[in-house]
Amino acid sequence: MSFKKSFTQQEAIPDEGIEAAIEIMKSGRLHRYNVNSGEKSLTDQLELAFSQYMGVDNCLACASCGYALHIALKALGVKEGDKVLCNAFTLAPVPGAIDNAGGVPVLVDIDKQLCIDLDDLENKARASGAKYLLLSHMRGHISDMDRIMKICKDFNLLLIEDCAHTMGAKWNGKMSGSFGDVACFSTQTYKHMNSGEGGLLITPHSDVISKAIIYSGSYMLYDKHYAAPDKQAFDAVKYTTPNYSGRMDNLRAAILLPQLELLDKKCTAWNDRYFAMSDIFKTSNEIVLIERDIKEQFVASSIQFFIPALSPTQFPLLIQACEAQGVSIKWFGDSEPNGYTSKYDSWHYISDKTSLVDTERILATLIDIRIPLTFTSKIV
Ligand SMILES: Cc1ncc(COP(=O)(O)O)c(C=O)c1O
């Protein structure tokens, strides 16, 4: 008997979103600034709703999370050649955003909870003199944010949170994404809200959002933003900030708005499926699940575990055997980039990748499985 469901099948867009999308298509007003005087576009409404959900004043909807990370780094002041600390276990768009901003990624080791290694972070912050930390909450694993914030303070690091996998999650009761100077979220199909492509940037800083909005392609229409500061904040930067054109449109916002209302419920549904799966994995002597800190209120839209007994030549056989049973698994230890999965050592444009011994060892036996909500939590 093989497993019949697809590991890449997402839930349908809620009817309300489909109706709003049809409505905006009928109107022809898809561009976010195509509004009548005083009217708030769907993109404005999404920014206001997400800023309220996150408890921050400023939000910008963008073309993607990778794009949002790029302009976040630029808005925080990253210049050509500036070093940016980043965990070595992340997805390719993250070091890509650093490179795009002119920065130089300084990759930091990870620990067996798949979070950034805090001792290595301190060492590399000291040795590199970097002023930025791009912390990727990869696969929804949230670091000890109390210690992260202390390290940022001790080393004067500006913190950018990559929350592509932690929308709706918390650390010790505080929203993931509300710790940093900037946080970026993804609404690409496999994330916690789905608009095909899309990103959301939040920040408590008015000087950062004003630059980010102009970078995103506001032209001089920045006064049509509502999850944003007053005009004066823009006047200070409007002549010096280039337009890197990467806006979100009203069609995507139409699809996303009703999903935001359902987000918390969906987070619970992901965790129900995660716990059902992990209960089964716990019965195996071969599988080692990732330990999670009690303060981490994660959203498990995927599950990771180690199979320490397998050698590098056995993992491809396991992947094949699972595929034959209808089960798609990914292996982070593969030396070749594969599909969406790539390892830090395949990013050849980063020259300095010294001392990533732990990351190498940890990824060597790491398996990853997506948990789409089209699965149920019932074991049959
Ligand atoms: C950890 C992580 N960060 C950032 C991104 C970039 O998101 P986007 O595809 O919206 O640019 C991704 C995309 O998969 C990701 O997995």
| 377 part of a folded domain | no
Residue 179 sits in the same domain as residue 283:
no
Report the amino acid identity of residue 129. G
- 88 contacts: CB under 8 Å, gap ≥ 6: 107, 108, 109, 110, 344, 353, 356, 359
The whole-number average pLDDT for the span 23-50 is 97
314 by DSSP, 3-state: which?
helix
**CATH for 286:** 3.90.1150.10
Residue 47 sits in the same domain as residue 136:
yes
Residue 271 sits in the same domain as residue 130:
no
Q: What digits encode the pLDDT tens for the residues 104-154?
A: 999 999 999 999 999 999 999 999 999 999 999 999 999 999 999 999 999
* Residue 380: per-residue pLDDT: 65
- 295 contacts: CB under 8 Å, gap ≥ 6: 144, 171, 172
Distance 191 CA to ligand 1 centre (A): 8
Domain count, the chain: 2
* Residue 319: per-residue pLDDT: 97
Q: Do 46 and 257 form a contact (C-beta atoms < 8 A)?
A: yes
> Both tokens of residue 85?
């600390």
User: What does 108-125 look like in DSSP terms, one character per residue?
Assistant: E-B-TTSSB-HHHHHHHH
Choose among 91, 85, 94: nearest CA to 116. Answer: 85
Ligand 1: which of 186, 191, 301 to mutate, judged by most atoms within 8 Å of the beta carbon? 186
Assign residue 339 a region (left: φ > 0; alpha: ψ between -120 and 50; beta: otherwise). left
Residue 62 sits in the same domain as residue 33:
yes
| 376 part of a folded domain | no
Residue 268 sits in the same domain as residue 254:
no
Ligand 1: which of 8, 60, 65 to mutate, judged by most atoms within 8 Å of the beta carbon? 65
| 9 part of a folded domain | no
> Both tokens of residue 109?
């080791």
Choose among 93, 33, 52, 3: nearest CA to 321. Answer: 3
Q: Do 188 and 198 form a contact (C-beta atoms < 8 A)?
A: yes
| 4 part of a folded domain | no
Q: What digits encode the pLDDT tens for the residues 269-316?
A: 999 999 999 999 999 999 999 999 999 999 999 999 999 999 999 999
| 230 part of a folded domain | yes
Structural element, H or E, at residue 66: helix 65-75
**CATH for 26:** 3.40.640.10
Q: Do 44 and 32 form a contact (C-beta atoms < 8 A)?
A: yes
Residue 304 sits in the same domain as residue 254:
no
Which residue, 211, 231, 258, sits at the end of a domain? Answer: 258
Burial class (CB in 10 A: 0-12, 13-18, 19+), 158: buried
| 375 part of a folded domain | no
241 by DSSP, 3-state: which?
coil
Q: Do 119 and 150 form a contact (C-beta atoms < 8 A)?
A: no
Rounded Cα distance between 301 and 315, Å, is 23
Residue 165 sits in the same domain as residue 27:
yes
CB-ligand 1 contact for 359 (6 Å cutoff) = no
CB-ligand 1 contact for 91 (6 Å cutoff) = yes
Residue 61 sits in the same domain as residue 162:
yes
Q: What digits encode the pLDDT tens for the residues 39-62?
A: 999 999 999 999 999 999 999 999
The pLDDT of residue 355 is above 80: no
Rounded Cα distance between 152 and 148, Å, is 6
Residue 180 sits in the same domain as residue 235:
yes
| 5 part of a folded domain | no
Residue 269 sits in the same domain as residue 241:
no
CB-ligand 1 contact for 164 (6 Å cutoff) = yes
Let me know how long the chain is.
Answer: 380
Residue 285 lies in domain = 263-370
Which residue, 258, 283, 306, sits at the end of a domain? Answer: 258
Which residue, 233, 258, 283, sits at the end of a domain? Answer: 258
Residue 225 sits in the same domain as residue 284:
no
Radius of gyration for the chain, computed over Cα atoms and rounded to the nearest angstrom? 21
* Residue 15: per-residue pLDDT: 98
Rounded Cα distance between 147 and 144, Å, is 6
Alpha helices in the chain (DSSP H): 15-27, 42-54, 65-75, 93-100, 118-128, 145-154, 206-215, 231-235, 250-281, 314-324, 357-364
Atom 8 (ligand 1): residue with closest C-alpha? 65
Q: What is the mean pLDDT of the chain?
A: 96
Residue 129 sits in the same domain as residue 190:
yes
| 57 part of a folded domain | yes
